[in-house]
Amino acid sequence: MRPVTFVVGTGRSGSSELSRILNLHPGVLSLNEMLSALTPNALPEGTLDGEEFWAILSEPQETFERMIRSQAPLPEFLYPKNPGRFSSEDGGIPGIALMTLPLLTDDTDALYDRLEPLVRSWPERDARGHYEALFDVLCADLGREVVVERSGYSTWWIPRLREVFPDARFVHLYRQGPDCAMSMSLHPGYRMLHRLHEVVELAGVEGIADLGPEHMAALPPHLRGLFADPFERSLLMDPDMPIEGFGRLWSMQVIQASEELAKLPSERHTTLAYEDLLDDPRGELTRLAEFAGTGPDEAWLATATARLDPSRRGAALSLPVEDRAALWEACAPGEAAITSSRA
């Protein structure tokens, strides 16, 4: 069975660069942001046929599409930077083409077109069977041997991933809390998450899908306006958002990851600290490659080491003293969970 590894974490922890580094390894199929780019029902229960599975892979992500149309795209969106025939203004960008396929090829549309008739012809089977078949096709097409999927803000996927892929391996990638939270506070995607958490809390519902017209009408204008298509970019990027809110978001995710991965056998999960990767790239990348079921490649290690910038740390120290204190307090529960998981 082909080894499959999921790198899970908060995002804003060097994770996008890690996907690019893994893609340079001659034996690794690096699936960048695959889970993030697909619909929330990307891992359905029961069985589905090829047409239904292709719908999951090809359906545009509605929130991401609105962000593109509102001139607030995420820097991780690769397809719009190298545009093909799909656009957010005309039908949307297929989920798997937004961030995943562009990392694998210089011609996203051609790879997408090769996959479509093949996947749509597949017989009925469960989600695991379809994804493993997809991994096999991509590995054969690109000459890779092992699979590593990496998505930001992915800790909430862990329980379902454990169910669908009972043999998968997991890497919890994290960055020092205050630095990660500060990076989140500058990122349109995490600012949107922050606002959506506000919406859910104010409306008293379980999730965004539960919002009705009466909830929308009761929201303050700066939150209600984010549901317009397009919305005013200033509603997302201009308002002041307390930095400690992003610290609480960071803590929530690392606690969730630590608790969920502790339910797995020790040989099937590990941790990777961004700071350790900066301090010892050769050692940590060698360990990661071996954990994923392959080995280190000398040319790959040299190239990867050159890509990592050891100065990218300590950003939160530039905050005013009062903001720093609030942020460190918000991150303390997450830091404690990480310390415990590494013990």
CATH number where 168 lies: 3.40.50
The one-letter amino acid at 245? G
- On whether both 164 and 214 belong to a single domain, the answer is no
pLDDT at residue 145, as a whole number = 97
Q: Is the pLDDT of residue 81 over 90?
A: yes
Q: How confident is the model at residue 144 (pLDDT cuts 50, 70, 90)?
A: very high
Q: Give the domain extent around 127.
A: 4-176+270-317
Q: C-alpha angle 111/115/121, rounded to 5°?
A: 165
Q: Name the residue among 281, 33, 327, 283 with its Cα closest to residue 180.
A: 327
Dist. CA 276–CA 295, nearest whole Å: 19
- On whether both 62 and 100 belong to a single domain, the answer is yes
- On whether both 57 and 107 belong to a single domain, the answer is yes
Q: What digits encode the pLDDT tens for the residues 148-165?
A: 999 999 999 999 999 999
* Omega cis (within 30) before 230: yes
Specify if 342 maps to a domain. no
Q: What digits encode the pLDDT tens for the residues 46-71?
A: 999 999 999 999 999 999 999 999 99
Specify if 259 maps to a domain. no
Q: How confident is the model at residue 341 (pLDDT cuts 50, 70, 90)?
A: confident
- On whether both 160 and 222 belong to a single domain, the answer is no
Q: Is the pLDDT of residue 343 over 80?
A: no
82 in the Ramachandran plot: left (φ > 0), alpha (ψ -120 to 50) or beta? beta
Q: What digits encode the pLDDT tens for the residues 274-284?
A: 999 999 999 99
Q: What digits encode the pLDDT tens for the residues 199-224?
A: 999 999 998 989 999 999 999 999 99
Tokens of 74: 């995420």
pLDDT at residue 277, as a whole number = 96
Q: How confident is the model at residue 312 (pLDDT cuts 50, 70, 90)?
A: confident
Dist. CA 207–CA 270, nearest whole Å: 31
- On whether both 54 and 149 belong to a single domain, the answer is yes
Q: Spell 112-147 as b/e; 16+ CB within 10 A means b.
A: beebeeebbebeeeebbbbbbbbbeebbeeeebebb
Q: Spell 278-298 as b/e; 16+ CB within 10 A means b.
A: beebeebbbbbbebbbbebbe
Specify if 325 maps to a domain. no
Q: Is 85 exposed, middle or buried (0-12, 13-18, 19+ CB in 10 A)?
A: exposed
- On whether both 62 and 87 belong to a single domain, the answer is yes
Q: Name the residue among 195, 217, 199 with its Cα closest to residue 209.
A: 199
Q: Is the pLDDT of residue 327 over 90?
A: yes
Strands of 144-247 (E only): list them.
146-150, 169-174
Residue 172, beta-bridge partner list: 8, 271
- On whether both 202 and 83 belong to a single domain, the answer is no
- On whether both 198 and 213 belong to a single domain, the answer is yes
Query: What's the total number of domains in the chain?
Result: 2
